[in-house]
Structure formats: structure tokens, C-alpha cells
Chains A and B, each alone.
Chain A
Amino acid sequence: MPNATYIMLIVLLPLLSFLIMGLFGRTYLKNTAGIISTCLSFISTCLAFYTAYGYFFEYGKINGVYQKLIPFNYLWLAFSEGLSINMGILLDPITAMMLVVVTLISLMVHIYSLGYLKGEERFPTYYAFLGLFTFSMLGLVVASNIFQIYIFWELVGVSSFLLIGYYYEKPSAVAACKKAFIVTRFADLGFLIGILVLSFYAGTLDFNTLIQRLTSPESNELKSALAASFLGISALTWGMILVFVGGAGKSAMFPLHIWLPDAMEGPTPVSALIHAATMVVAGVFLVARLFPIFAISAPDALEIVAYVGAISALFAAIIACTQTDIKRVLAFSTMSQIGFMMFALGVSKYGGEEGLGYTASMFHLFTHALFKALLFLGAGAVIHFVHSNNMKDMGGLRKQLPITHFTFLIACLAISGVPPFAGFFSKEEILLAAFQHNQTIYWMALITSGLTAFYMFRLYFSIFWNKSYHPNHQDEHGHHGEGGFVMMMPLVLLSVGACLAGFIPFGKFVSSDGTALVSEFHLQFSIAPVALGLTGIFTALFLYKTENDKPDKMASSLRALYQIAYHKFYIDEIYLFITQKILFNCIGKPAAWFDKNVVDGLVNATGNTTQVLSEKIKKIQSGKVQEYAVYFLVGVFGLAMVFIYMWK
């Protein structure tokens, strides 16, 4: 059995970092905050690797099947006999994998931030928030029951809110953090209702019991959950859809994606950690965690997952082609890639070869975390150098930033699915799974992967080639190069990961039912995606390698489409219209009127009446002892009369 202490330490060390930085950081640890946090993060990472190694190679496998182990479980709140909430650790392949991903990316970001945020006034606060986030994310992945996952889910949301709003002097950052919080909260409402529905029918919150009860055909819980229906859809399917709504909100799936691009207002390392590699895949993780129920008992809900994922992937890829803010391009790319993971889960079935989509999704989650964090950190280095997010201010940076250039290229190749980089392998598996189960989604995915290659290389060429670099602010800032060792080391490490991660035989470790899945490599099948990816790359090369007017010409020839995509399909505007014009006017204003006039009126009336009355009767309290004695006597005699004459 695994040692629960180590796993708890993985989770609790970031919390310790949060507590130290939060309590003492600003007063005592102004200079050493980053170092201390990074050390704690490093220990946590080592333990996570140790745990993952132990799980995958020593004790995790029994009779060729990876078990769902619960090394630690603590009864936290016991409400009644049937209802109690535990705090526990559930260790299974995806937990082990997520532990590694989260701690690794977190460590990279910790190191990188040492350079990126150097000299920042609220340096310790930043590390406190990073610690809080890492703690909550780790708590989320090890959660042994659905309520625990909800608690950490909200904590992750809070830390994301805090970090997006880190530059709180900027109005746009404040607006962005509010937006992120409100949109995800809105989705979390769905999640909460879903939890209630599921736990009501299953009678438990614990994942293992929940899955076992809701997947075995003989169980009474499953029968009752399938029998109850609303609008012609069974309660179980509703529950799963609602849970997925929560996941979709956190993972920025269409149409709840609107917060993710704005969330780029946060510091770039934070975007790399939260809005690329870890938090946004929480939705995928959630679906994967409940995957047996989705696949066996609620295939309709799984179909919704598949289509939402595919639509989000294509939708985001189209928008990404037109954006000029490099972080926003990356944000939409993130959304697109998460769409890939979602629909990979959506087309998967439970068990054996049919479960390829599940393995592929988790594989893509793993590789994506590596190369997307690399992309964001690279973009951070560029922004650090240029002091601008806009592509138009960049170009020709390959001479100034050689290491960044090289690592960014690797990441771009990886995400575009060019062999032999990491993205190629995971994307191939996803496409294969989609091809086997759902042709519509396969074609959407194929187009998306072509677009992905195009916009990534549009980004790459616009930053590093195109025109030559003319710094605007050289006199003000002087030349400070790439940001030193602490910023370059994570880039190099992650680029090594992006090169090599694809060769991990992932199916052997992570599969839908725990048995090893041998993923075959189909050469003929790979031709189409790779060719499409290369086409995208060469188109981008042709359009953006040198400074020319071809992109503008293309944009004007496809004017309508370009405008719509540039404005992100007007989704934000639609939301604003719905909330401000319809909700505020039709519900908000009458409610405000009612509150001001009726509710406040009642309250004020009560207050005024009391005041007038008290003015009248306060004279009774005269302070004269003998008057009180008279009242007392009258009362006594009154009572005596009542008892003597009326009681009989």
C-alpha cells in the first residue's frame, strides 16, 4: 500500500507555503518568499514523482489491473447515518498522473516567476496565491468523494480569481477576475445541483461507491435513478449533464468560455499554470473521474460532452486565427485543445480497446500541459522583453531571444501535431478514437487540427520573423535580455518534456478500466492529419514569414467571416445583451423597485412606529422608585383580583 503521509505532504506543502507567505510574507520574507515557496514546491514535486512511480510500478497494479486505492480517509462531517462527508485520498492512474502534472508545472511556474515578477511590490502575496492554488488543485485531484472535489473546485476558483485580479490597479484585470468568478460560479451551480441529484439517487458521495452503485445493472440505486425522469430524460442523465455543466464552466467550453480570454489579464506565469495546464483541465478530469457512469449509464450525457467538446475545439480554433493579442491566441488555443480532450472522452466507451478515447484524452491532457505551459512561459518571456501583448509590436525577435525562440518552436511543432513531438502522439490517438466512433466529430477535429497548425505558426512567425525588431522603449528600460537563468531553465526543461513525452506508452498506465491498453500506431491513418498540419504551417509561413500585405488582403476578401471571428462570434455581446437589456430591465429593475419601496418601506414603517411609540411610553421609566412601587402594587392587586374572582 502507498504511504498516505507522502501523498498528504504533496497536498499540504503548498498549503504551508500559502500560510507562511500569507501570514509572514509581506513583513518578514520580502526577499526570500520566492525561494522558500519554490523549495516547498520542489519537495512536493519530488514526492509526487515518487508516489506516481510507486503507484505505477510497485503497488498500483493487482492482476494486471490498476486499482483505485484509498490510502487515507477521514470522517469529516457526520450529519446522519446515511449522510456523511469524508476527506480522503483516492489514488488511481489519473490521480497519479495529475499529481505529477500539477506539481511539475507548478514548480516550473514557481521558478519562472522568480525572474518574471522580480522587483514586484506584492511578491510574497503572489507566491501565497500560487501556493493556495496548487494546494486546491492537488486537493481536487486526490479527492475521494464528490463533495470534497466540489470544495476544492471552489477553492481553485477562488485562487484563480485572486490571481487573475493580481494587478488590481488595472480596471481590466478587475473586470476580468469578476467575470471569471461569476461565469464559473454560474456553472458551479449546475455542478452542485448535479452532485445533489447523483448523491440523492446513489445515497453516497464517495466516488468508488457511487460509481459502483450507478454502473452495475442490478443495483436498486441505478434503477431508481433511471426510472425517475424529467422532460423525458432520466434523472441520472440530468445529473451527469449538470455535473458536466460545472466541468464545462471550469474548462471554458462553449458557451461558457467567455471568461478564459479575459483571464489573460493575470500575470503570464499564472496563465501558464492555471489557465493552460491545470485548472482548466479540471472539467476534463471531472468527466474522466465519473467516466464509468457516463459511459455505462448515461451515454446521452456523454454524447453531449462529445459535441460540446468538438464545437468548442473548432469554434476556438477559428477565433484564434484572427486574434492579435498573443496571450489571447494562446487562450483560444487552450480552449480548442481542451475541446479535443472533451470530445475524446465523449467518443470513448468503457473498457478495453473501445476505451481508446479515454486514454487519448488523458494522454493529451498530459502532453498539452507540458507544451502549453511552455508556450505561455515563452510568450511571457517575449512580453517581458517587448512590454506588450500585441503581435504588431513584435517581429524579428529570434536574434534577441534565441532560447525562447527555439523552445517556442518546439512547442508550436508539438501542438501542431508534427512527429515526433509530444502532441503528435496524443492527437493521433484522439483522432483515431473519433474516427472509430463518430465520423462527424472526426472531420471537425481534422479541420481543427489543421487550423491549430496555422494559427500557432501565424503566432510563431509574427513574433520571431516577419519584420525586424525596432524597440520602442529602449531608452527607458535598457536591454535586459531574456530574463536570466531562472526564466530559461523552465523553458528548456519543458521543451525536453514536449519533445519526449510522446514516447511514453500511456495506454499501459492510464485506461478507462485500469487494464493496459496497447495503442497501435497506424501509419496510413496519420498521413491526413500530418499533411493537413504541414499545410497549415506552410500557409502561415507563406503569409507571415516576411512583412507583406497578403494577410490584410485575405482578411478584406473574407471580410464578414473575419470580422465575426475577430469579435469572437459576438458571444460576449450576446451575453451582455441578455444580462443588461433583458435580465436587468425585466427582472432587476422591478425587483429593485419592490425592494426599495415595499421591503424597505415595511422595514422603515416598523422602525418609525416603534420610535413614535417608544417616545410616548418612555415616560413610564421615570426613575422614581415610588412610581414603580405603585405599578407593582397595582399589578399585584390586579392579579389577586383575577385569581380570586375570575378564576373560579
Chain B
Amino acid sequence: MEPGLYHLLFISAALFFIGVYGFLTRRNLIAMLMSIELILNSVNLNFIAFNKYVWADKLDGLFFTIFVIAIAAAEAAVAIAIIINLTKNFQSIDVEETEEMKY
């Protein structure tokens, strides 16, 4: 079977929900961050797939991918700064042990 748009969308959706599953089940903040990276990657793949198979006359999908990558890099940097700070304060990066911000 010739791989096309639907295959790419399948991969993208699958990767997205793998990320969601990881985000919901992981207790470690770094692991949650990895899940988010997977989700962002699936979105990137989506953009590229649509750009190639539906709107081949434009490059907008590509640009959005670039922006997502840039923002993901920024987000990862900030997230890791927060994680390091959290380790200093709580000696733990387990989300179930850092539940200070509640009612």
C-alpha cells in the first residue's frame, strides 16, 4: 500500500495519544516533559503532512513547524529551570509529592 496522507495522520495521531498517555501516567516531571515533546512532534508531523499533500503550493505548514520547534525549545529550557528549582526546594520532582498549590 502506497503511504500517503492518511498514513502520516495515523502516525501523528498515534504519537499524540502516546504522549497523552505518558503525560497522564508518569509521576516524574522530566518524564512528563518528554511526553510533551512527543505531543509537539506529532503536531509537527501533522503540519508537514498537510503542507505536502494538501497545500503543496504554500510553505505555511513548514513555517509553523519551525515556530513550534523554536517554542518547544524555549519551553523545554523553562521547564527544566523550573524542575531544577523544584528539586532544590522539595528534593523531589515527583508530581504527587509537590502538591502545594491547592485550596
Contact = CB atoms under 8 A, between A and B. Distances in A.
B100 interface: yes
Contacts of A629: 23-24
The binding surface of chain A is classed by DSSP as helix
A507 to B, nearest CB: 83
B72 to A, nearest CB: 18
B90 to A, nearest CB: 13
Interface in B26-78: 32
- The secondary-structure label for the interface of chain B is loop
B102 interface: yes
Interface string B71-103: 000000000000000000000000110011111
A624 B99 contact: yes
B102 A622 contact: yes
A626 B103 contact: no
Interface string A278-322: 000000000000000000000000000000000000000000000
A623 B23 contact: no
B68 to A, nearest CB: 18
Contacts of A630: 24
Interface residues of B, number: 11
Interface residues of A, number: 11
A621 B100 CA distance: 11
A624 B95 contact: yes
A624 B103 contact: no
A629 to B, nearest CB: 6
A633 B95 contact: no
Contacts of B24: 626, 629-630
Interface string B1-32: 00000000000000000001001100000001
Nearest to A630: B24
B12 to A, nearest CB: 16
A622 B20 CA distance: 20
B51 to A, nearest CB: 23
Nearest to A625: B95
Interface of B: 20, 23-24, 32, 95-96, 99-103
Q: Which 6 A-B pairs have the closest CB atoms?
A: A623-B102, A623-B99, A618-B103, A621-B103, A623-B101, A625-B95
10 contacts: A619-B103, A621-B102, A621-B103, A622-B99, A624-B96, A625-B32, A626-B24, A629-B23, A629-B24, A630-B24
Given A621-B102, A624-B99, A625-B95, 8 more contacts: A619-B103, A622-B99, A624-B95, A624-B96, A624-B102, A626-B23, A629-B23, A630-B24
